[in-house]
Structures are given as C-alpha cells and as structure tokens.
Amino acid sequence: MLKGLHTREAAQYLGLSPGTLEVWRCKGRGPRYSKLGKRVVYDPADLDAYLADHKVFTIDSMPSSAGR
C-alpha cells in the first residue's frame, strides 16, 4: 500500500482544487511529491513544510526575534 496522499486528498489538505496542484506540477511549482509509475503521492510532512515556507507575516504577527 502506498503511503501518502493522492492529488485530491493533498488538494483538500491544502484547501486547493486538484487542478491547481496538477497545473503547479506541470510548471515545476508547489509542494514536493513522489511519482510512482503514473501515481502521484504527497507526503503530509512535505505539505506542512510547503505551508510553513509560504507563511506571510504581518507587522502584528512578526516573531519577536525579527527586531520589532
């Protein structure tokens, strides 16, 4: 059994449409994924890392170590 989330599941996890992930893959964008034959799977840890890497901080949410 494959471990990981299929495109539809990963899209739901990220709050996106499956088509968005498919377009991103074609353009070399988006979260890391594995291709096993024709199957594409996403590791939930990679999805979490992708979300963390795309976090946008506002002035009010800046970490205190950022020199506010």
Tens digit of pLDDT for each residue in 18-65?
A: 999 999 999 999 999 999 899 999 999 999 999 999 999 898 888 776
Q: Where are the domains of the chain?
A: 7-60
Question: In a 3-state reduction of DSSP, which class is residue 14?
Answer: helix
Question: Is residue 67 very low, low, confident or very high in pLDDT (cuts 50, 70, 90)?
Answer: low
For residue 45, give the nearest of 1, 11, 5 by alpha carbon: 5
H helical segments located in the chain: 7-14, 18-26, 44-53
